């Protein structure tokens, strides 16, 4: 090595020791023009990266108010700066400015057209990924998108990591004002139809700006979205990954010629090597978001777990909810509520003639085996039932029904009731009292109902030793109750279940709905002694 090169290296070391390695001053990747920050009474958190020992001033300037905050990052060895703003009332636009004053220079970063409203996180797998161009009446829906400029959208890129990331590895869709091009740009890419329709309906009912953050990946089990802490609660933190069968959403050209059933072929998913591995999506697609203040979350997932750790979903799903709540509450310095409102979609259908109990079992376990939400195990949650939205003609496979407007509307009702305290009906009818008599069963529901007589959707088990279930036809209906015939049962009735099939009824044609016909009754299974 030459003397001149040694001198150069020595000088570089001196400069590095004197000033430290300087990190680019910037906002975290989550931030951008057109974004929405959480409104009052919560306080939005703003964070980013810069030089150690530099002073950072964050200013929010609008037409009627100005809020300025200063934070010193002397004690942040990684150069991460963070500010918790004072509460800002809903509205905008604002300009968000961050100014770094270091030993070398003053650097300014500005974000424009920033609104304050409610921020909702949307997660899950491919039914959450489906875009507006894939739903029913897509052309009309897309043409209406630009009419809601105060509902903003952001999408996290599909990334996985074996370690927890502090910043997003990629952004699929930066903060954007809605348009037909933004919301209908791709198939299973860019922005979620359910997330958009939920946010739009929420805006229409409440009027404040809404920020929607999508972080989802098709075909993924709940374990990939869960931290080690959550999985440990269910005995899975150190469990080896494995392979499992999962329906190919678009079918396989290689297998299509071998099937005349119309059923989508199955493919092996190698959990150990892919984005189905424990915690890898939590690490890459959720953990980097924990600093942000959010109003709530919605979730559409479960299909992948019908054949993977299904017997533990009644633990893993509630544990994931609890863990997300704790992590976002701590990450935001207590600004995100510790009981974060969490809505989810009870999965729809897959195969119309299936005899498998995988889907009804998973639906039941989504509720922690209570059958409804919220419940004692899953407080401050809300559920959108979708088992009546089966769609044989969906070009994306029957596992991907196109009626996402109904899903989003049912979720919105839940959010309005649970998150905002509005007095709106959001739960389908659920049995309040079941009486087994000599030749029939009487079911009194929690609310008034509308009923269509049906011969086979209710079933009874006729002895504790038998696993066979027989139809219990509806023979009478009142405003809040139904009476079932048990004439098919020659032994003692030991169990009762409702809609316990993969595909229990035709489109919006289940026998029991709320009195207004909007909300379907969720499935249930009970011992006759209850």
With contact defined as beta carbons under 8 Å apart, do 347 and 362 qualify? yes
State how far the Cα of 378 lies from the Cα of 268, in Å rounded to an integer. Answer: 32
* Measured distance CA(459)–CA(357) in Å, rounded: 14
Query: Does the model's pTM come out above 0.85?
Result: yes
CA-based nearest residue to 97, from 70, 127, 117: 70
Identify the structural domains of the chain with CATH numbers, from first to last: 26-113 (2.60.40.10), 118-239+275-420 (3.40.50.1110), 431-527 (no CATH)
The helix or strand, by DSSP H or E, that contains position 408, with its residue range, turns out to be helix 404-418
3-state helix, strand, coil in the chain (%, to 5): 25, 30, 50
Report whether the peptide linkage leading into residue 374 is cis, meaning its omega lies within 30 degrees of zero: yes
Q: What is the DSSP letter of 285?
A: I
> Residues 54-57: contacts with CB within 8 Å, 24+ apart?
54/25, 54/81, 54/100, 54/101, 54/102, 54/103, 55/100, 55/101, 55/102, 56/81, 56/83, 56/98, 56/99, 56/100, 56/101, 57/97, 57/98, 57/99, 57/101
Tally of residues, the chain: 530
Phi, psi of 224 (to 5 degrees): -70, -25
State whether residue 266 is helix, strand or coil.
strand
Distance of alpha carbon 274 from alpha carbon 121, whole angstroms: 24
Rounded-to-integer distance, Cα 363 and Cα 306, Å: 9
- Contact partners, residue 338, CB within 8 Å, separation at least 6: 325, 326, 329
Going by C-alpha positions, the residue among 435, 363, 518 that lies closest to residue 510 is 518
Contact in structure between 118 and 293 (CB atoms under 8 Å): no
Token code pair at residue 154: 């952001």
| CB contact at 8 A, 283 and 161 | yes
Using DSSP bridges, classify how beta strands 55-61 and 91-101 pair: parallel, antiparallel or unpaired. Answer: antiparallel
DSSP state of 277: S
Q: What is the pLDDT along the chain (530 residues), one digit of tens a residue?
A: 444 444 433 333 443 433 444 578 999 999 999 999 999 999 999 999 988 878 888 989 887 767 766 665 544 456 889 899 989 999 999 999 999 888 778 999 999 999 999 999 999 999 999 999 999 999 999 999 999 999 999 999 999 999 999 999 999 999 999 999 999 877 877 799 999 999 999 999 999 999 999 999 999 999 999 999 999 999 987 755 544 444 444 333 222 222 333 333 334 444 444 667 999 999 999 999 999 999 999 999 999 999 899 999 999 999 999 999 999 999 999 999 999 999 999 999 999 888 889 999 999 999 999 999 999 999 999 999 999 999 999 999 999 999 999 999 999 999 999 999 999 999 999 999 999 887 899 999 999 999 998 777 999 988 755 568 899 999 999 999 999 998 888 778 888 999 999 999 999 999 999 999 999 999 999 985 54
């Amino acid at each position: 090595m030459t003397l001149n090169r040694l001198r150069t290296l020595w000088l570089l070391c001196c400069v590095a020791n004197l000033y430290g390695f300087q990190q680019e001053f910037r906002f975290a990747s989550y931030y951008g023009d057109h974004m929405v920050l959480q409104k009052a009474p919560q306080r939005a958190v703003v964070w980013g990266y810069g030089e150690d020992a530099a002073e950072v001033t964050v200013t929010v300037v609008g037409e009627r108010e100005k809020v300025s905050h200063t934070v010193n990052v002397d004690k942040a060895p990684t150069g991460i700066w963070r500010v918790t703003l004072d509460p800002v009332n809903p509205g905008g636009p604002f300009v968000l400015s961050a100014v770094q004053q270091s030993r070398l220079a003053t650097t300014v970063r500005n974000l424009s057209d920033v609104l304050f409203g409610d921020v909702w996180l949307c997660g899950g797998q491919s039914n959450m990924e489906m875009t507006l161009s894939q739903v029913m009446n897509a052309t009309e829906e897309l043409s209406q998108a630009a009419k809601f400029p105060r509902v903003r959208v952001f999408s996290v890129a599909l990334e996985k990591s074996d370690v927890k990331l502090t910043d997003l590895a990629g952004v699929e869709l930066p903060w954007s004002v809605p348009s037909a091009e933004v919301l209908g740009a791709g198939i299973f890419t860019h922005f979620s139809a359910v997330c958009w329709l939920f946010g739009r309906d929420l805006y229409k009912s409440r009027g404040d700006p809404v920020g929607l953050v999508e972080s989802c990946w098709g075909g993924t089990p709940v374990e990939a979205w869960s931290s080690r802490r959550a999985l440990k609660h269910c005995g899975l933190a150190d469990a080896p990954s494995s392979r499992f069968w999962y329906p190919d959403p678009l079918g396989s050209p290689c297998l299509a010629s071998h099937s005349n059933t119309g059923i989508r072929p199955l493919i092996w998913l190698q959990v150990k090597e892919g984005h189905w591995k424990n915690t890898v999506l939590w690490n890459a697609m959720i953990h980097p978001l924990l600093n942000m203040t959010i109003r709530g979350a919605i979730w559409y997932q479960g299909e992948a777990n019908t054949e993977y750790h299904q017997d533990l979903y009644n633990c893993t799903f509630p544990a994931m909810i609890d863990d997300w709540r704790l992590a976002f509450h701590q990450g935001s310095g207590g600004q995100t509520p510790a009981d974060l409102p969490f809505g989810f979609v009870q999965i729809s259908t897959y195969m119309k003639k299936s005899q498998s109990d995988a889907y009804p079992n998973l639906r039941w376990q989504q509720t922690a085996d209570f059958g409804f939400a919220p419940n004692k195990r899953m407080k401050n949650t809300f559920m959108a039932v979708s088992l009546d939205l089966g769609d044989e003609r969906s070009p994306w496979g029957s596992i991907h029904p196109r009626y996402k407007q109904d899903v989003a509307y049912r979720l919105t009702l839940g959010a309005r009731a649970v998150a905002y305290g509005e007095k709106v009906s959001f739960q389908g009818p659920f049995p309040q009292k079941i009486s087994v008599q000599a030749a029939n069963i009487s079911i009194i529901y929690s609310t008034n109902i509308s009923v269509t007589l049906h011969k086979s959707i209710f079933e009874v088990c006729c002895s504790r030793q038998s696993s066979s279930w027989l139809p219990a036809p509806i023979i009478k209906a009142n405003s809040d109750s139904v009476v079932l015939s048990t004439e098919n049962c020659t032994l003692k009735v030991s169990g009762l279940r409702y809609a316990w099939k993969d595909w229990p009824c035709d489109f919006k044609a289940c026998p029991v709905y709320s009195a207004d016909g909007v909300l379907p009754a969720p499935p249930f299974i009970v011992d006759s002694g209850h």
